[in-house]
């Protein structure tokens, strides 16, 4: 999500910023900008030149080449919009009231509204819509002649996630970086230094980097880089020597974007919750701020999606009916558009689309709106068609997803729908405070639990290699894990080109079981749930037909010991959380099967990331 570059050295900063931003384009972005502290002319004060583009980096470069700022200190940014549309004024860098402090930022500031109100009351003016703009103003409010001290004081007030590069025109030999829940590195060159959101930006210049830890600040001067905590305690950072080339760096050292994005899932899960969920389970959506009375009038929920988004919709259908107690239905948007919809002004229409541009989903959204339904787009792209056309939006904040097969954005969709279900349940008093707190605890534990699944990658590789020789698969689950089974089958077939079907455990005996034999393995999701015992019975039925079985089973459950061919133990967690973890395991399984078969997992044949035609 976004790209950051900062430079301090003996060379001209602008060409380095330009080249680095080009290398950061792969991260996805909607606008770009640089700030360069220009070399002062005799008798003149320091002046900083800001150049921005509300479009691509190439447009920014054209502007810079037409009027090239000369200086040895500068920062640059490619922005993936989170707060505020992709406009010139919202593009980074941002500055304070006096135009002396300059900041670029990746991440989300959860308490920006509170800080902004406080600063506005003190006379600060905010021309942009961004959360980032509170940072330079907060530094300005704490500035008493020591820029680094002001940065530390300001950052102690900020909640959320940030990677920051900053400088002040009062300190022409100081470049400051800081991070919390977002990556940032310091590149160590020969008499020159870099701050970047990832190694891609700086790898042609240096392969020696310091990786900042959580809550750490880097003060870079011509003498070197000093890292400290927000309290000013010096931290001895380890220098890492990187042997990647530029292409590898874009993938963060992973062999494929898909694997990189699966490993970004913990952050995607966390970002979907940031600033939206209190300890007591109160949920707020900034871009879907609907009064309680309006939500109380909702009598049914329609969830529309295609492909992976349809599976997310099915999960949303399940939790909304379970937690909220009102009818919900997930629909294939491409079929919905050709029906006579039975929706009205008491229907909440939830459209689920990673890109916000899925053609069938947009048509279905318009049809539901025409019949008076309240609509919300759950999407990853700010100002996308779905976000603009709906009454509100719930943004995933997952950052760009380059692999065609959706991975981290599916998890963010699931979390967003869980939060929406809690919001609807709360306004009607259908879920107790105790239950809300249980759900909060379960959701907040998920990022670390996802990391736990990722840490078991070697186990999953072994299973994937064992099963990679089969040409047919069945995936089976019940309840929340029925759409998870459908998604597991979809992932396997779209990146490995192996035939795979998803089915519910109950539906298995109504046809699909006829396919099973010793060459038709089944992935059975048997983790703890209200229907687990039924799935155990299904596994016995499958084994009786001689089909190999890979079963996902909750730790401590021995009801299937010795029955399936293979068992993969999953953590004992809340059922909604279990669906997330099961999804991650199946994504890794599909990935490693496809890699074993030598397939192009990032760009599978015949598929496109965004389907903009019917």
What is the per-residue pLDDT across 392-425, written as a single tens digit (0 to 9) for each? Answer: 999 999 988 889 899 999 999 999 999 999 999 9
Task: Dig out the tokens for 431 from the structure.
Answer: 């879920």
d(CA 215, CA 152): 10
Is the predicted pLDDT of residue 577 greater than 70, yes or no?
yes
Closest CA to 101 of 63, 32, 148, 67: 148
Query: For residue 173, is it left (φ>0), alpha (ψ between -120 and 50) or beta?
Result: alpha
Mean pLDDT is lowest, of 73-82, 197-206, 548-557, for 197-206
Mean pLDDT of all residues in 24-43: 84
State the architecture of 456-596 in CATH terms: 3-Layer(aba) Sandwich (3.40)
Same fold for the pair 3-250 and 259-452: no
Is the predicted pLDDT of residue 328 greater than 90, yes or no?
yes
For strand 73-79 and strand 3-8, is the pairing parallel, antiparallel, or unpaired? Answer: antiparallel
- The pLDDT score that the predictor gives to residue 169 is 94
Is the predicted pLDDT of residue 75 greater than 60, yes or no?
yes
Query: For residue 73, is it left (φ>0), alpha (ψ between -120 and 50) or beta?
Result: beta
CA-based end-to-end distance of the chain = 29
pLDDT-based confidence at residue 25 (cuts at 50, 70, 90): confident
- The pLDDT score that the predictor gives to residue 585 is 98
d(CA 476, CA 524): 5
Q: Are 523 and 587 in contact (CB under 8 A)?
A: no
97 is catalytic: no
What is the per-residue pLDDT across 183-240, written as a single tens digit (0 to 9) for each? Answer: 889 999 999 999 998 888 898 899 899 988 889 999 999 999 999 999 999 998 878 8
Hey, is 298 helix, strand or coil? coil
207 is catalytic: no
- The pLDDT score that the predictor gives to residue 157 is 96
Domain map of the chain by residue range? 3-250, 259-452, 456-596
Report the DSSP beta bridge partners of residue 76.
5, 34
d(CA 322, CA 422): 11
- The pLDDT score that the predictor gives to residue 43 is 60
- The pLDDT score that the predictor gives to residue 42 is 61
What is the per-residue pLDDT across 230-274, written as a single tens digit (0 to 9) for each? Answer: 999 999 887 888 777 777 678 888 999 999 999 999 999 999 999
Query: Choosing from 2, 22, 251, 493, which is the catalytic residue?
Result: 2
- The pLDDT score that the predictor gives to residue 381 is 81
- pTM of the full structure: 0.82
Closest CA to 477 of 554, 534, 518, 418: 534
Query: Choosing from 369, 466, 534, 609, which is the catalytic residue?
Result: 609
In CATH terms, the superfamily for domain 3-250 is Aminohydrolase, N-terminal nucleophile (Ntn) domain (3.60.20.10)
Is the predicted pLDDT of residue 28 greater than 80, yes or no?
no
Domain 259-452, CATH number (from 2.60.120.620, 1.50.10.20, 3.40.50.10490, 3.40.50.720): 3.40.50.10490
Closest CA to 493 of 399, 392, 607, 585: 607
d(CA 417, CA 428): 17
Is the predicted pLDDT of residue 290 greater than 90, yes or no?
yes
- The pLDDT score that the predictor gives to residue 173 is 95
Is the predicted pLDDT of residue 448 greater than 90, yes or no?
yes
pLDDT-based confidence at residue 443 (cuts at 50, 70, 90): very high
- The pLDDT score that the predictor gives to residue 100 is 95
């Amino acid at each position: 999500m976004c790209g950051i570059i900062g430079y301090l050295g003996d060379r001209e900063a602008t060409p380095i910023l330009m080249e680095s931003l080009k290398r950061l384009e792969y991260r996805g972005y909607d606008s770009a900008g640089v700030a360069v502290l220009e070399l002062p002319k005799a008798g003149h004060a320091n002046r900083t030149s800001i150049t921005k583009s509300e479009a691509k980096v190439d447009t920014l470069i054209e502007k810079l080449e037409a009027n090239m700022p000369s200086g040895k200190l500068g920062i640059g940014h490619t922005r993936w919009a989170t707060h505020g549309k992709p406009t010139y004024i919202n593009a980074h860098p941002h500055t304070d009231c006096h135009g002396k402090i300059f900041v670029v930022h990746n991440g989300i500031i959860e308490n920006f509204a509170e800080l902004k109100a406080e600063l506005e009351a003190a006379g600060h003016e905010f021309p942009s819509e961004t959360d980032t703009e509170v940072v330079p103003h907060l530094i300005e409010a704490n500035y008493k002649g020591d820029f680094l001290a002001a940065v530390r004081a300001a950052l102690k007030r900020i909640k959320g996630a940030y990677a920051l590069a900053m400088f002040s025109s009062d300190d022409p030999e100081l470049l400051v970086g800081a991070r919390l829940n977002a990556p940032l590195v310091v590149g160590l060159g020969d008499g020159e230094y870099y701050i970047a959101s990832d190694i891609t930006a700086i790898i042609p210049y240096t392969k020696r980097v310091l990786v900042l830890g959580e809550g750490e600040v880097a003060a870079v001067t011509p003498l070197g880089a000093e890292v400290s905590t927000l309290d000013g305690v010096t931290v001895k950072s380890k220098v890492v020597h990187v042997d990647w080339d530029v292409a590898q760096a874009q993938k963060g050292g992973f062999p494929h974007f898909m694997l990189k994005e699966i490993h970004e899932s913990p952050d995607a899960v966390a970002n979907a919750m940031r600033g939206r969920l209190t300890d007591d389970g109160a949920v707020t959506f900034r871009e879907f701020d609907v009064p309680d009375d309006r939500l109380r009038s909702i009598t049914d929920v329609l969830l529309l999606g295609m492909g992976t988004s349809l599976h997310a919709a099915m999960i949303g259908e399940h939790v909304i009916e379970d937690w909220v107690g009102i009818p919900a239905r997930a629909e294939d948007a491409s079929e919905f558009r050709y029906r006579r919809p039975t929706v009205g002004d008491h229907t909440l229409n939830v459209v689920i689309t990673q890109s916000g541009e899925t053609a069938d989903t947009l048509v279905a959204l318009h049809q539901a709106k025409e019949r008076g339904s309240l609509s919300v787009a759950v999407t990853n792209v700010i100002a996308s068609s779905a976000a603009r056309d709906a009454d509100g939006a719930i943004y995933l904040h997952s950052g760009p997803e380059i692999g065609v097969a959706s991975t981290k954005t599916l998890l963010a969709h699931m979390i967003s729908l869980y939060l929406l279900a809690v919001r609807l349940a709360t306004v009607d008093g259908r879920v107790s405070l105790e239950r809300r707190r249980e759900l909060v605890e379960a959701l907040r534990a998920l990022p670390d639990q996802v990391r736990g699944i990722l840490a078991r990658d070697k186990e999953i590789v072994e299973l994937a290699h064992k099963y990679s020789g089969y040409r047919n698969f069945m995936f089976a689950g019940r309840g929340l894990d029925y759409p998870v089974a459908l998604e597991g089958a979809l992932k396997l077939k779209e990146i490995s080109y192996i035939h795979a079907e998803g089915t519910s455990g109950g539906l298995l005996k109504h046809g699909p079981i006829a396919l099973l034999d010793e060459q038709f393995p089944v992935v059975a999701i048997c983790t703890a749930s209200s229907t687990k015992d039924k799935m155990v019975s299904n596994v016995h039925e499958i084994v009786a037909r001689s089909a190999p079985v890979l079963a996902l089973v909750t730790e401590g459950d021995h009801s299937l010991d010795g029955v399936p061919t293979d068992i993969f133990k999953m953590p004992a967690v809340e059922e909604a959380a279990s669906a997330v973890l099961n999804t991650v395991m199946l994504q890794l399984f599909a990935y490693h099967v496809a890699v074993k078969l030598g397939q192009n997992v990032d760009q599978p044949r015949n598929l496109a990331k965004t389907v903009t035609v019917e």
